[in-house]
Chains A and B, each alone.
Chain A
Amino acid sequence: MERSWQRWLIRFGVFIVMAIICVPGLWIVMTAFRDNVEVMARPPVWIPERWTLDNFRAILGLSENQQGIPVVRYFLNSVVISVTSTVLAVLIGMMGGYAFARYRFKGKNVAFLWLMLSRTVPGISLSLPVFMIWSRVGLIDTDFGVILVYLALNIPFTIWLIDGFFRQIPLSLSEAAQVDGCTRWQAFWKIEFPLAKSGIASAGIFAFLTSWNEFALASQLTRTTASKTLPVGLMDFTAQFTVDWTGMCAMAVIIIVPALILTFIVQKHLIAGLTFGGVKG
């Protein structure tokens, strides 16, 4: 009796938590497909009465009565910045993670500690110094400037995660490969890399999602369509006295969908990466 009572309590708790997490997201998606008038309706209309794509047409500049927002441009900026910073963060993470996992060198522990400590600093607290330095060297409103900042955010994490994966691979595998005729480089690519692949993939998806969703720093460092990313572009919907909620939500959907698709593709690796991270000392 008591068992089932406890189980229902747990289920109820899970339901509440999931609702808190999911309902706003669901609300965004529904709002993206509803009429503007429904948004402000009181009492609120939960399920849209009429599903419409007008909001998407509007922000993409396909309807004549509203001025478009350069969504495509923002999208491209986001892709360039996220993909470049992810690829670089994973490459550097692989090199760094391998070095920390496999080599003994002076100051290794201190270096690792500093890398990890850098993650304890909230990124936003660095926005002012970064802004000042970037404006001096002319990196404000450039893709490169944003990429650089995202690399700094992501690299400690990718190194930490990938280091853990390489640590799990017995050293003797690479030694066996070397005895079997491989150079150290071949031993890495043919043996160690395939075995650490899921870790590297999960490091990649984490890095990508961080860059893709990041708002605070990007909003400081970007100014125009030259480098504005999608999350920053959301601010275009707020005017002095009004907020175009439906347009904003439509754009939010555009931001969510690629991240969602990517997450589904690498889901298997992601779970491996997460559970692994959980047991690692």
Chain B
Amino acid sequence: MAEVRLEKLVKSYGKVGVVHGIDLTIAHNEFVVLVGPSGCGKSTTLRMIAGLEEISGGTISIGDRVVNDLAPRERNISMVFQNYALYPHMTVKENLGFSLKIAKQDTATIEKRVAEAAEILGLTPLLERTPGELSGGQRQRVAMGRAIVRHPDVFLFDEPLSNLDAKLRGQMRVEIKKLHQKVKTTIVYVTHDQVEAMTLADRIVIMKDGHIEQVGTPAEVFEKPKNTFVASFIGSPPMNLLDATVATEAGRKIAKLNDGVTLALPAAAAEKVTDGQTVTIGFRAEAFSPVGYGLYGDNEVATIERTIILPEPLGTETLLYTELGGKEVQGKMLNPRFVKPGEQLTFNLDLSRLHVFDKASGMSVLV
């Protein structure tokens, strides 16, 4: 059983704090993705778990051992690096078997485990090549193979796909997911790409400036973002965020946008706000569609006429750039038709899918 527990984990370089006391428990066999913009401390956190970075405060435990002062080799972890870090002077086979050789396993065991890993990752025909003779995707697979031959307690991935082109990245993402299904192990995965986070993770940890902003399943962080940062970070295109003031109209709480448009607030949020409060209203592009081109069911909608600034056709859907509340917002058109810039369209805004954040704190009023 390899549960990874971070308690009040702190990292600072001199006076500069990088990670400010984070708490996180990663369950056995769970796939957790740390995601956030660059400089948020996610890689540092991963490197502290690996033992490549000293801990300034707090504790890290793997299984029931506190590993704070253990060297990387004593932690029974393996790591896939952003630049793969394959040993250039060794063949693929030697790369895969290196950790076992260091652990003084006998040749037969090494052969067997290397063959197993090569089989899982489709590396068998490449075993005698050196890393210089491999393509990017193959190198990536060797790096993963090197990690799995050891049967570690925890896999650590440090932005493993960021050096690949978009198409290959998509393929490798699927392979990593499959790998996790085959080789059940705890995985901590760092990325700045929210799509990777959403597709791979059992749970996502969103970090910013050395703090954890939210922890949750992909569905939770997508549907119930705790604050405006998570709301704008997760999902593509990012959530539209508009400033508004709360008022009461005909017995209902409404939000009045800067351009005078009023939106009735969903019941749950309405209970938490007071008249005159300044809030940030958030909604995703898919909640804002031209009439007849969205999915609303019986939800209450606000109907708004808008001029299209720019349509962005994506094949199965079209993103529509228009203006609302004094800001540029994006709507989405499912099963699209051709739209011209400057065209007037009537939009439905799904009011049940509005997110309401307190403007001052940036926190969701539901928290």
Q: Identify A170's interface contact among B85, B89, B99, CB under 8 A.
A: B85
Residues of A within 8 A of B71 (CB): 178, 183
Residues of A within 8 Å of B87, CB to CB, are: 173, 176-177, 191
* A254 at the B interface (CB under 8 A): no
Q: Are B50 and A181 in contact (CB under 8 A)?
A: no
Q: How many A-B residue pairs have CB under 8 A?
A: 56
A179 to B146, CA, bound (A): 11
Q: Which residues of chain A are within 8 angstroms of B88 by Cβ–Cβ distance?
A: 195
CA distance A169 to B161 in the complex (A): 21
Whether A180 is near chain B, meaning CB under 8 Å from some CB there, is: yes
What count of chain A residues pass the 8 Å CB interface test?
A: 17
Question: Given A180-B78, A180-B146, A181-B73, do A175 and B52 touch, yes or no (CB 8 Å)?
Answer: yes
| Alpha-carbon gap, A98 to B225, bound state (A) | 47
Given that A170-B83, A172-B81 are contacting pairs, would A179 and B50 also be in contact in the complex, using a CB cutoff of 8 Å? yes
Say yes or no: is B21 at the interface (Cβ < 8 Å to chain A): no
* CB pair B103 A176 closer than 8 Å: no
Determine which residue in A175, A178, A180, A182 has the highest number of CB atoms from chain B within 10 A of its CB, and name it.
Answer: A180
Interface: B102 (CB within 8 A): yes
The answer to whether B73 and A176 have CB atoms under 8 Å apart is: no
Contact B98 A180 (CB under 8 A): yes
Task: Give the distance in Å from the alpha carbon of A190 to the alpha carbon of B88 in the complex.
Answer: 12
Contact in complex: B103, A181 (CB < 8 Å): yes
- Among B72, B99, B103, the one with the most A-chain Cβ atoms within 10 Å of its Cβ is B72
B41-90 at interface with A (beta carbon < 8 Å): 50-52, 71-73, 77-79, 81-83, 85, 87-89
Q: SS class of chain A's interface: helix, strand, loop or mixed?
A: helix
Whether the Cβ atoms of A195 and B89 lie closer than 8 Å is: yes
Residues of A within 8 A of B203 (CB): none
Q: DSSP majority for the B interface?
A: loop
Closest Cβ–Cβ distance, residue B73 to chain A (whole Å): 4
Q: Are B102 and A176 in contact, with the CB atoms below 8 A?
A: no
In whole angstroms, what is the CA distance A182 to B99 when docked?
8
A258 within 8 Å of B (CB atoms): no
B150 to A180, Cβ gap below 8 A?
A: yes
Given the complex of chains A and B, what is the CA–CA distance between A262 and B103 in angstroms? 38
Task: Report the minimal beta-carbon distance from A106 to chain B, rounded to whole angstroms.
Answer: 12
Chain A window 178-219, contacts with chain B (Cβ cutoff 8 Å), 1 for yes, 0 for no = 111111001000110011000000000000000000000000
Task: Give the docked Cα–Cα distance between A175 and B86 (Å).
Answer: 11
Query: Could you tell me if A180 and B73 are in contact, using CB atoms closer than 8 angstroms?
Result: yes
Query: B89, A181: Cβ atoms under 8 Å?
Result: no
Bound-complex Cα distance A177 to B79 (A): 10
What range describes how many residues of B lie at the interface?
20 to 34
Pick from A177, A179, A190, A191 the residue with the most CB of B within 10 Å.
Answer: A179
Contact A172 B89 (CB under 8 A): no
Is B79 in contact with A194, judged by CB distance below 8 angstroms?
no
Determine if B85 and A175 form an interchain contact, defined as CB atoms under 8 angstroms apart: yes
Complex CA–CA separation, A191 to B349 (angstroms)? 59
Nearest 3 pairs of A and B residues by beta carbon = A180-B99, A176-B85, A172-B85
Residues of B within 8 A of A181 (CB): 73, 99, 102-103, 150
Q: Which residues of B contact A191 (CB under 8 A)?
A: 87
Q: Shortest beta-carbon distance, A166 to chain B, in Å?
A: 14
Measured between beta carbons, the chain B residues less than 8 angstroms from A177 are: 87, 98
Residue of A nearest to B78 (CB): A179
Residues from chain A with Cβ under 8 Å of B52 in the complex = 175, 178-179
The residues of A that contact B99 with a CB separation of less than 8 Å are 180-181
Tell whether, in the assembled complex, residue A176 and residue B89 are in contact, meaning their CB atoms are under 8 Å apart: no
Cβ of B146: which chain A residues have Cβ within 8 Å of it? 176, 180
The smallest beta-carbon distance between A123 and chain B, in angstroms, is: 37
Please, could you name 12 A-B residue pairs with CB atoms under 8 Å apart, sorted by A? Answer: A175-B50, A175-B52, A176-B79, A177-B98, A178-B51, A178-B71, A179-B79, A180-B78, A180-B99, A180-B146, A181-B99, A194-B89
**How distant is A173 from chain B, measured CB to nearest CB, in Å?**
5
Are B81 and A176 in contact, CB atoms less than 8 angstroms apart? yes
With both chains docked as a complex, state the minimum distance between the C-beta of B348 and any C-beta of chain A, in angstroms: 51
| Least CB distance, B102 to chain A, in whole angstroms | 4
Q: How far is the CA of A179 from the CA of B78 in the complex (A)?
A: 6
What's the least CB distance linking A258 to chain B, in Å? 30
A172 touches B83 (CB 8 A): yes
With a CB–CB cut-off of 8 A, which chain A residues contact B73? Answer: 178-183
Closest to B81 in A: A172
Q: Are A175 and B72 in contact (CB under 8 A)?
A: yes
Residues of A within 8 A of B78 (CB): 179-180
13 further A-B contacts with Cβ under 8 Å, apart from A179-B50, A181-B73, are: A170-B85, A172-B81, A172-B82, A175-B50, A175-B79, A175-B81, A175-B85, A180-B146, A181-B99, A183-B73, A186-B102, A191-B87, A195-B88
